[in-house]
């Protein structure tokens, strides 16, 4: 098996840098758009054969070093009983948001058995992909952090201000904490099921963690996140765990305390600066972090020579004296308007220029 990515997650010395792309199965690929013509988004997520097909596309087309299962982070919330709608042009919405302690108390957390029953289509897709990959590259599973999942559920979808979520966090933090705790229990059950179905690594997406300052992140978002992480460490100790945060440069001192294998960051700060902060001496700090990222997604719209130049700079920023300590990726999901040959050039540039 090509285990380059898994070895890099564990901090081992590798012959070159592994590379994959967040949202690599997506609209920039004509092959993905052809599948979408046959099925709406939720149908695609819930049809294992179609989800497996689009999961494999970037492995075949781009030559990335890891596959990540095609799904949506909000599916566990639907499995908890929240109505989830994907409307054309509007993205995901929850027609009945959860905004009170009473609503949170009425929302049941999923057990492993519940997850198997209500999210079995995700696990079926996972098994299909593992079979089709036949060891070519590892397969990642993923989920949203409790804070990020709650952000969508409380707002009823995406938001510019997140006024309902943030207002609740000030008015009744214990009530919001109840919701976060139930989402954490569900997330843990869901992710454990992914590992049982064949996930070889897991990534937690904290898209909206950056809404909070460090003090409030530690008091609100960290406890349910830590519950998920500690649960996974206990139940799936040999499966690497990646934590990704968007807009979280100001939270790095707190992120350094997380018991995850890989810290994935956006493009707004050089990897050398990220490493300087998270590896600093102090409470909870540790040395030898593996970082993931962090090319600006918009850089893939540049001419290919400029993409190659920026890849070179990213490799220099991410390198350490002990070896790479780095998994190449974008700092966020790939944009739908990126030409396929530009995405392929990014992957090729990492693989060729990081050869030992």
Residue among 36, 216, 226, 353 flagged as catalytic: 36
What are the φ and ψ backbone dihedral angles of 294, each rounded to 5 degrees? -145, 45
Residue among 16, 27, 118, 216 flagged as catalytic: 27
Q: Is 261 a catalytic residue?
A: no
Q: Is 10 a catalytic residue?
A: no
Q: Is 213 a catalytic residue?
A: no
Q: Is 23 a catalytic residue?
A: yes
Strand segments (E) across 89-186:
91-93, 139-144
Residue among 10, 16, 23, 353 flagged as catalytic: 23
Burial 25-60 (b: 16+ CB within 10 A, else e): bbebbebbeebbeeeeebebbbbbebbbbbbbbbbe
Neighbour count for residue 281 (Cβ, 10 Å): 7
Measured distance CA(255)–CA(264) in Å, rounded: 10
Measured distance CA(320)–CA(12) in Å, rounded: 13
How many residues make up the chain in this entry?
Answer: 356
Residue among 28, 65, 72, 182 flagged as catalytic: 72
Measured distance CA(338)–CA(17) in Å, rounded: 22
Neighbour count for residue 118 (Cβ, 10 Å): 17
Residue 217's alpha-carbon distances to 151, 223, 315, in angstroms, are 13, 9, 30
Residue 240's alpha-carbon distances to 13, 115, 221, in angstroms, are 16, 21, 21
Q: Is 72 a catalytic residue?
A: yes
Residue among 28, 32, 123, 152 flagged as catalytic: 152
Q: Which residues are catalytic?
A: 23, 27, 36, 72, 152
């Amino acid at each position: 098996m090509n285990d380059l990515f898994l070895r890099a997650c564990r901090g081992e010395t590798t012959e070159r840098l592994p590379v994959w792309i967040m949202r690599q199965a997506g609209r920039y690929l004509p092959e993905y758009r052809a599948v979408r013509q046959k099925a709406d988004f939720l149908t695609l997520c819930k049809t294992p054969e179609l989800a497996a097909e689009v999961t494999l596309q970037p492995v075949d087309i781009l030559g990335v070093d890891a596959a990540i299962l095609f799904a949506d982070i909000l599916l566990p919330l639907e499995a908890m009983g929240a109505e989830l709608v994907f409307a054309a042009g509007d993205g995901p919405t929850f027609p009945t948001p959860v905004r009170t302690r009473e609503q949170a108390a009425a929302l049941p957390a999923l057990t492993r058995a519940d997850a198997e029953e209500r999210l079995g289509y995700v696990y079926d897709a996972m098994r299909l992909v593992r079979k089709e990959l036949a060891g070519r590259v590892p397969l990642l599973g993923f989920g949203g952090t409790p804070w990020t999942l709650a952000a969508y559920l409380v707002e009823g979808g995406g938001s510019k201000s997140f006024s309902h979520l943030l207002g609740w966090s000030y008015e009744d933090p214990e009530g919001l904490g109840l919701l976060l705790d139930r989402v954490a229990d569900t997330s843990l059950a869901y992710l454990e099921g992914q590992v049982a179905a064949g996930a070889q690594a897991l990534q937690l997406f904290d898209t909206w963690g950056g809404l909070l300052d460090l003090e409030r992140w530690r008091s609100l978002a960290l406890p349910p996140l830590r519950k998920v992480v500690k649960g996974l460490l206990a139940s799936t100790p040999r499966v690497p765990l990646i934590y990704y945060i968007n807009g979280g440069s100001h939270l790095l001192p707190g992120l350094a305390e997380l018991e995850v294998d890989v810290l994935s960051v956006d493009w707004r700060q050089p990897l050398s600066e990220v490493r300087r902060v998270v590896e600093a001496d102090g409470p909870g700090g540790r040395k030898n972090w593996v970082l993931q990222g962090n090319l600006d997604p918009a850089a893939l719209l540049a001419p290919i020579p400029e993409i190659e130049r920026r890849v070179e700079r990213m490799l220099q920023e991410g390198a350490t004296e002990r070896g790479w300590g780095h998994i190449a990726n974008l700092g966020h999901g790939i944009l739908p308007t990126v030409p396929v040959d530009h995405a392929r050039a990014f992957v090729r540039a990492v693989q060729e220029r990081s050869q030992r």
